[in-house]
Amino acid sequence: MQGSGVVEHTICCQQTDDMIRPAARQQSMMNKWIAIVLVSQAMTAASTYVLKDHFYGSNFFDNFYFMNATDPSKGYVQYVNKTTAQNLDLYNYHENKNWMYVDNTTIASLPGRKSVRIQSNNIYNQGLFIFDMSHIPWGCGTWPAIWTSGANWPYSGEIDIMEGTNSNTFNSMTLHSSANCTMDNVTQVMTGSMTVSGCGSSSGCSIRDSRSTAYGHGFNVIGGGVFAMEWLTNGIKIWNFPRTGIPSDIQSGDPDPTSWPTPQAHFPFGVNCPSTNFKNQYIILNTDFCGWGNQTFTSNGCGSSCHPYVANNPGNFSNAFFTINSIKVYNQQ
């Protein structure tokens, strides 16, 4: 019947539209991904990198300020100044490397176990940051990090390059920013897994590297490796290279990120998150206790409560140290 034919035609067309829309959405996402890749490659390839800062050797710690204020992250820690840290042997230089420790000999009381938090004297706006580490802190109660942050947190941003807790084996790479920053899950251009997309949340937008050598004991047992962070106007990328997989151009001092494998983390900037959210950053290395690690302390098999564990078991922190070969910062030419 004619009426029936009209109805059938309408149903046909609706079905066709429903089939087309997912394909269109998929094509739109693909176009977005291609645009991210092309812009990223073009901006990186447009310039070469020249060395700006090289921190290594016996004067390494002269380039950093030792924070001794109350921990803004509310960890169970007492950061000490440089003189106290030297007297307690919480940092030193030997075997052509620089070492940062925590107090592993005394019972701790409030505000927490003595540790070191260093912050670069220099301020940075974009660049390529290379951290060559032979050992990073690890173990129950620990919360170490390699990161950058501005003085006006969170409005000047924070970039967490290496962060972990307790006996976990994964590395969390995270951005913290003001509320107008959300990340797209660009799985095609990174190997990590996005766990949180909103950078303005308390946990930040975070990508997890779950490889067995990404963090902690697995990283240390192979002699460590290199954490690299490239910060450009189009976004931030983070790599973690195991010792035997460090690109030759990093070792020769002529880094070329366009030749490197897919990064573990990729945070693209754009309307979703303006690049101006990240500026005037200091390099920071520290070992905190408990804090974020409280959330997984029991599930990691560490015990029932983090603070008493950290306070009463100093000998359990013999692995809570950084061994730093060098830190290099490059600018685009």
Residue among 8, 95, 158, 230 flagged as catalytic = 158
Label residue 326 exposed, middle or buried (CB < 10 Å: 0-12, 13-18, 19+): middle
Q: Find, among 246, 202, 203, 206, the residue nearest to 228 by Cα.
A: 246
Which two tokens mark 150?
Answer: 């501005």
Compute the half-sphere exposure of residue 287: CA atoms within 13 Å on the CB side of its CA.
31
Which two tokens mark 311?
Answer: 């306070």
Q: Is 8 a catalytic residue?
A: no
Q: Is 95 a catalytic residue?
A: no
Residue among 8, 95, 163, 230 flagged as catalytic = 163
Q: Look-up: residue for tokens 């603070």? A: 307
C-alpha to C-alpha distance for 267 and 158, rounded to whole angstroms: 13
Catalytic residues: 158, 163
